[in-house]
Amino acid sequence: GTGLLEGAFSRFHREVSGALTRAGVAHANEHPSDGQLAIDVALPDRRFAIEVNGPTHYGRGEDAQRPSAATRQRERQLRREGWLLRSVPWWEWEKLRGQAGLQEAYMRAVVKSLELEARIINYEVAARMQLAAGDVLDVSRESSSTHALYGLDNPVTAGYGMRCLLARRLIE
């Protein structure tokens, strides 16, 4: 039989996709990015990209496990487009060759690491929003004319006026 390095790399891609399928992870192969790229394996609804990287994606000799300039550029482009990205390097997958259970576990771990990264990003956004909320919710610095314009000095309209003012400030 031929190893991953001796045959077409499309078999490597099929094995990765098969492991995801066995793990119950819905995905798309060769999914178009927002730009001109095709993502090897994508979970499009979650903006997760998994690149199946054979030896041509890496350097030679001492740099055999360092992504090539073209691979790094491609990864930067996908990240700029908002994709969370993981690579499956050929040398890691080769160790799992013929071991479907380990391949499936490996791909589950890849997806879990993407889920964790997404969760961390969401928490960071939430923290920034909470930090900014103090300034947004403090209407004491608004002028008296703005308070009057929104009816904050009238008990009948104050509640609605405050919600309108806060909505404007959140949009700003």
Query: pLDDT tens-digit profile of 67-103?
Result: 999 999 999 999 999 999 999 999 999 999 999 999 9
- Measured distance CA(159)–CA(71) in Å, rounded: 55
Under the banding of pLDDT at 50, 70 and 90, the label for residue 5 is: very low
Residue 24: is it exposed, middle or buried by C-beta count within 10 angstroms (0-12/13-18/19+)? exposed
> How far is the C-alpha of 49 from the C-alpha of 28, rounded, in Å?
10
Instruction: Give the three-class secondary structure for 89.
Output: strand
Instruction: Give 11-63 pLDDT, tens digit per residue.
Output: 899 999 999 999 999 999 999 999 889 999 999 999 999 999 999 999 988 88
pLDDT of amino acid 8: 42
Contact 149, 143 (CB under 8 A): no
**Whole-model pTM over 0.85:** no
Closest CA to 65 of 37, 42, 41, 87: 87
Helix (H, G, I), strand (E, B) or coil at 28: strand
